[in-house]
A and B are shown apart, each in its own frame.
Chain A
Amino acid sequence: MVHVSDLISEDIESYLAAHEQKELLRFITCGSVDDGKSTLIGRMLYESHMLFDDHLAALEADSKKVGTQEGEIDFALLVDGLAAEREQGITIDVAYRFFSTDKRKYIVADTPGHEEYTRNMATGASTADVAIILVDASQGVLTQTRRHSFIVSMVGVKRIILAVNKLDLVDYSEEVFNKIKSDYHEFASEALTLEEITAIPISALKGDNIVESSENTPWYDGQSVMEYLETVEVAASSQSRSFRMPVQWVNRPNREFRGFTGLIGSGCISTGDRIRVLPSGTESTVARIVTYDGDLELAGAGRSVTLTLTDEIDISRGDIIASADSPCSSADQFQARILWMDDSAMMPGREYLFKSNSQTSSMTLGRLKHRVDVNTLEELPAKVLDMNEIGICNISLSSRIAFDPYDADPVMGGFVIIDRMTNNTVGMGLIDFALRRADNIHWQSMDVTKQSRAEQKSQRPRLIWFTGLSGSGKSSIANILEKKLQAMGRHTITLDGDNIRHGLNRDLGFTKADRVENIRRVGETSKLMVEAGLICISSFISPFASEREMVRSMMDEGEFVEVFVDTPLEVCEQRDVKGLYAKARAGELPNFTGISSPYESPQDPEIRIDTTQVSAEEAAEQIIDYLSRS
């Protein structure tokens, strides 16, 4: 076993001490079954002696039963996991494999090679440090080789092993190997953005140049696959970028402590460093880097930490803490590369959800500039993207987000696209750059709807319906509520007796029929306001349950928020702000609710406010809290 040195049996403590210092490397293997990909991975597991006896016994039995190697061990069987795949003889999904050596622990993303699995390959590549591209020596650089390379390069893998496999089938020919190598370089320099290509002649089946240099290729003096993986330098690159930490969760166990938790995506941070919070732009200084194992002075990309700041500033999930010296920018319109991953095609003009690190926003995809044929790398015109297709388009978000271009920082520029109806992850996107306001997107196929009006205002339209006796406090609470919503940047309108009874409804009195008509008109007006994308606050006694239900039924599910301002009649009468109760008692006001006309209390309002217990200010907070939760 590569990682079982004699130390294990002789001095386990020293062995453990040494192995705690191991690093982690993630790589992806690309190639189709015919290229010998599963065989290569099976071989690596076998050579690193990561297989247990019972696995080996099962493998030998399976090899005889369903193997394709004439009874010899078929390493591919080790790797093809799901029952469906074993029957079909293909690998349909990303599988993760693990093995370790003296120096490193490896996580292998084993991905299928067929064109219809482009999305699975992109998934595997999204976390990979290195990619192994397999080429069948007897076939040379094929369309699929170019496709695999393009996908891993697009997703940001910078280092590639070009593993020229099945060299045993071409008599370990140096000439064949060199030809493939130069063909590949020619293609890569044109089409890919790689930093390093390392070509290695191998036979996965026979084990040549997998772990040790093979005697069959005396003309090759480079590294074996494992030697390369053991020594390639990868970790430093993410820490050399500018500091970025997406805030996941605010940790507030008590009044004294307010920490911002997150996994550092890029760069390093030290106590005393100036930071800037995006997209708000507020600055502060790092007070502590808190962990369970004690405070740190320095923390770099890959570490999960909790930061506290010297100033009390407002930060919440989705914000980015960046270094103040080289902060990221923020914008709401971008050009992006999209890889579509769903059965139903991507529709320009449609609403989707955008989710990057911890930021979520609603998003509209613009018209496609073009799509890229993954086989020829040609740019073709396209109206939609089908599954596994890649295209370039502009996107527009409902709110500004902090970002960096994907090529500069994958943590800050990568996002997933979520379908609002099915909640599925339907695509991946890579931000190329932000669009300047001047080159605003032209939306040709987009309809103006209630939703688009609301999204323009970054809010959910609602009708907040206050009901309660005269003098119960409806208007006071409604006024405070509207001020608070305005301060939060929401777009609102208030309808009440003052602006309705004197205008639109000045022809109506207080008979039962007029009261019903009054509410019907207010309901219709409120509906128009909600159609406009506004948060409409309507404050009317509205004493009859059936009229309130009528208004509720005019609205969409969840839009109507009934707020019952529950003040006992005695209290209202005692307050009698406008002197109306006194007049009603004196018989001067007929049909006065509570005195000479009934009030039907709501049985199940969304919010009930007991004004004998809470102040108007607290009541408004209670409503805002409800709105943010539902």
Chain B
Amino acid sequence: MQDRMTHLQRLEAEAIHIMREVVAEAENPVMLYSIGKDSSVMLHIAMKAFYPAKPPFPIMHIDTMWKFSEMIGFRNKMAEDLGLELIVHINPEGEQMKMNPFVHGSAKHTDVMKTQGLKQALDKHGFDVAFGGARRDEEKSRAKERIFSFRNENHHWDPKRQRPELWNVYNARKNPGETIRVFPLSNWTELDIWQYIHLEKIPIVPLYLAKPRPVVERDGVLILVDDDRLPMEEGEEPMMKTVRFRTLGCYPLTGAVESDADTLPDVIQEMLLTTTSEREGRVIDFDSTASMEKKKQEGYF
């Protein structure tokens, strides 16, 4: 008598186990929902983990005011379709100063709207544990991060003081002021995510699929003209190109790739045959080799 399981089934079972551990031990957990493909997978697994009950925690989006408009529509529809409580947080200081990546620069925009916004939202609602969809294959410093990853009262990560994580026994005991980021998809790769979305027919934002869209080219990066806030340079005209996105964030900071992949299998095919890694479309990573590690230490998710 044997119950043969595929690698995706094992990864799913592991993620479910992690989510249930959090619910059993946390005081006030929340699931961070970035609307991207990894978040979509995480949310789908949350629906499974507590079935027939609903996930016993809200989902929260840290809105930067510059997300693709399609993402916002998708976010609201998902929360409604699944019957989940959705919390949207926008950093009021950023809102007041009309934060704009074109005016203030991408680094400041990301810091204020995303890093500070996240800290504010967690503090405001008193969440002690936040699920995130990060994967260890994304980036070198993440490869060493624990599944239960602790942040001090300033939400800083200290890579040198991580607790040993043995078997699947997680120590979720917090010191005063500490919060925990929990990554149920730690052991998934980009291919696993896509395969799972395909297999489980998980809804994703259509921006991942190719379609003719108006874009402008800036420093070799294709930027979508998502609304009229994108300042046009002298003589610049949006051009229609068949493009899609490998990763979703703030539209001025996320490069499109030219592609004809308009179905999920085509996207996977393209991903397997392509030779640049996923985060390259994301402008914030270009700074320095250890930039993500540094951002994380400062409190970026």
Binding site for B on A (CB under 8 A): 1, 4, 8-9, 12-13, 15-16, 19-24, 52-55, 58, 81-84, 92-98, 100, 104-105, 107, 119-120, 122-123, 126-127, 235-236, 239, 248-249, 251-253, 257, 259, 261-263, 268, 270, 290-293, 298-304, 306, 317, 341, 353, 355-358, 410-411, 414-416, 418, 422-425, 428
| Alpha-carbon separation in the docked complex, A13 to B163 (Å) | 42
A4 contacts across to B, CB distance below 8 A: 272-273
Asked whether, in the complex, the Cβ of B164 is within 8 Å of the Cβ of A291, the reply is no
Q: Smallest distance from the beta carbon of B127 to chain A beta carbons, Å?
A: 19
Most A CB contacts (10 A, CB to CB) among B2, B20, B23, B191 go to B20
Partner of A304, one of B17, B163, B191, B275: B17
Selected contact of B166 from candidates A19, A259, A414, A423, CB within 8 Å: A414
Contacts of A54 in B (CB 8 A): 276-277, 280
Q: Which residues of A contact B175 (CB under 8 A)?
A: 422-423
Q: Which of A58, A235, A259 contacts B5 (CB 8 A)?
A: A235
Tell me how far the C-beta of A238 lies from the nearest C-beta in chain B, rounded to whole angstroms.
10
A9 to B174, CA, bound (A): 49
Nearest-CB residue, chain A, relative to B49: A304
Of B7, B21, B174, B276, most buried by chain A (CB within 10 Å of CB) is B7
Complex Cα–Cα for A347 and B299 (A): 35
Report how far A152 CA is from B268 CA in the complex, Å. 37
By the criterion CB–CB under 8 Å, are A424 and B163 in contact?
yes
Asked if B50 is at the interface (CB within 8 A of a chain A CB), the reply is yes
* A257 and B48 form a contact (CB under 8 A): no
Give the contacting residue for A127; candidates B5, B12, B167; CB below 8 A. B167
A370 CA to B160 CA, complexed, in Å: 30
Say yes or no: A293-B144 contact (C-beta < 8 A), given A127-B167, A253-B53: no
Q: Which of B7, B14, B48, B51 contacts A23 (CB 8 A)?
A: B7
CB-CB < 8 A to A23: which residues of B?
Answer: 5-7
Q: How far is the CB of B185 from chain A (nearest CB, A)?
A: 12
Decide: B50 and A418 in contact? CB cutoff 8 A: no
Check B166–A122 contact: CB distance below 8 A.
Answer: yes
For the A-B complex with A92-B160, A291-B48, A353-B173 known, give 18 more contacts whose Cβ atoms are closer than 8 Å: A9-B273, A16-B268, A19-B195, A23-B5, A24-B6, A54-B277, A93-B159, A96-B143, A100-B189, A105-B189, A119-B164, A263-B168, A268-B2, A298-B1, A298-B3, A302-B9, A303-B9, A304-B12
Sample (29) of A-B pairs whose CB atoms are under 8 Å apart: A20-B199, A22-B8, A23-B5, A52-B277, A82-B140, A82-B141, A82-B159, A83-B290, A94-B144, A95-B144, A96-B136, A96-B187, A97-B137, A100-B189, A126-B166, A236-B2, A239-B2, A248-B21, A251-B52, A268-B1, A268-B2, A291-B48, A355-B171, A358-B24, A422-B175, A423-B174, A425-B164, A425-B165, A428-B166
Q: Give every chain B residue within 8 A of A425 (Cβ-Cβ).
A: 163-166, 171
* A423 CA to B161 CA, complexed, in Å: 12
Query: In the complex, which residues of chain B have a beta carbon less than 8 angstroms from the beta carbon of A292?
Result: 47-48, 51
Interface residues of B in 171-222 (CB under 8 A from A): 171, 173-175, 186-187, 189, 191-192, 195, 198-199
Output the least CB separation between A255 and chain B (Å): 13
B260: interface (CB < 8 Å): no
Q: Is A12 a contact of B189 with CB atoms below 8 Å?
A: no
With a CB–CB cut-off of 8 A, which chain A residues contact B1? 239, 268, 270, 298, 300
* Contact between B16 and A423, CB atoms less than 8 A apart: no
Identify the B interface with A (CB < 8 A): 1-14, 16-17, 20-21, 23-24, 47-54, 136-137, 140-141, 143-144, 159-160, 162-169, 171, 173-175, 186-187, 189, 191-192, 195, 198-199, 265-266, 268-269, 272-277, 280, 289-290, 293
Residue of A nearest to B24 (CB): A249
A243 to B11, CA, bound (A): 21
The answer to whether A304 touches B171, judged by C-beta atoms less than 8 angstroms apart, is no
With known contacts A83-B290, A248-B21, A253-B53, A428–B7 Cβ distance under 8 A: no
Q: Which of B2, B140, B164, B275 contacts A53 (CB 8 A)?
A: B275
Contact between B7 and A104 (Cβ–Cβ < 8 Å)? yes
Most buried by A among B159, B164, B187: B164
Given A263-B168, A355-B171, also A303-B5 (CB < 8 A):
yes
Q: Which residues of B contact A12 (CB under 8 A)?
A: 265-266, 268-269
State how many angstroms separate the Cβ of B238 from the closest Cβ of chain A: 28
Residues of A within 8 A of B16 (CB): 263, 304
In the bound complex, what is the Cα–Cα distance between A301 and B4 (angstroms)? 9
Q: Which residues of A contact B13 (CB under 8 A)?
A: 263, 302-304
Query: Which residues on B sit within 8 Å (CB–CB) of A126?
Result: 166-167
Q: Across the interface, name the chain A residue whose C-beta is closest to B2.
A: A239
Q: Is B3 within 8 A of A24, CB to CB?
A: no
Q: Are A105 and B7 in contact (CB under 8 A)?
A: yes
Query: Quick check: A81 and B140 within 8 Å, CB to CB?
Result: yes
Q: What's the least CB distance linking A261 to chain B, in Å?
A: 6
Known interface pairs A8-B269, A95-B143; A83-B171 also in contact (CB < 8 Å)? no
Chain A positions within 8 Å of B50 at CB level: 251
B186 contacts across to A, CB distance below 8 A: 96
The one of B24, B174, B187 that contacts A107, using a Cβ cutoff of 8 Å: B187
A293's partner among B10, B48, B173 (CB-CB below 8 A) is B48
> Quick one: closest A residue to B146, CB to CB?
A94
Given A12-B269, A248-B24, A251-B53: A268 and B277 interface contact (C-beta under 8 Å): no
Pairs of residues from A and B, 5 with the lowest C-beta to C-beta distance, nearest first: A300-B3, A81-B140, A253-B53, A304-B16, A292-B48
Chain A CB within 10 Å, residue with most, of B21, B167, B289: B167
- Min Cβ gap B129→A in Å is 14
A428 contacts B143, C-beta separation under 8 Å: no
Residues of A within 8 A of B168 (CB): 127, 263, 357
**Chain A residues with CB under 8 A of B290:** 82-83
Which residue of B has the minimal Cβ distance to A94? B144
Residue on A nearest B161 in the bound complex, by CB:
A424
A291, B293: Cβ atoms closer than 8 Å: no
Cβ contact within 8 Å between A24 and B141? no
Tell whether A55 pairs with B277 under 8 Å between CB atoms, given A20-B8, A263-B13: yes
- Whether A82 pairs with B169 at a CB distance below 8 angstroms is no
In the complex, the chain B residue whose C-beta lies closest to that of A110 is B143
Cβ contact within 8 Å between B136 and A98: yes
Nearest CB in chain A to that of B277: its residue:
A52
Q: Which residues of B contact A104 (CB under 8 A)?
A: 7
Are B5 and A416 touching (Cβ within 8 A)? no
**Cα-based distance from A300 to B165 in the complex (angstroms):** 24
Residue in B143, B159, B266, B293 with the greatest tally of chain A CB atoms within 10 Å: B143
Checking B166, B167, B195, B266 against A20 with a beta-carbon cut-off of 8 angstroms, the contacting residue is B195
Whose C-beta in chain B lies nearest to the C-beta of A417?
A: B171
Tell me whether B265 and A16 are in contact (CB under 8 A): yes
A239-B47 in contact (CB<8A): no
Min CB gap B48→A, angstroms: 4
Taking a contact as CB atoms under 8 Å apart, the answer to whether B3 and A299 are in contact is: yes
Q: Report whether B7 and A22 are in contact in the complex, using a CB–CB cutoff of 8 Å.
A: yes
What CA separation (Å) do A542 and B5 show in the bound complex?
65
Interface centre among B136, B169, B276, B280 (most CB of A within 10 A): B169
Are B3 and A257 within 8 A (Cβ)? no
A2 vs B160: C-alpha distance when bound (angstroms): 35
Cross-chain contact B51 with A415 (CB below 8 angstroms): no
Q: Which residues of A contact B274 (CB under 8 A)?
A: 52
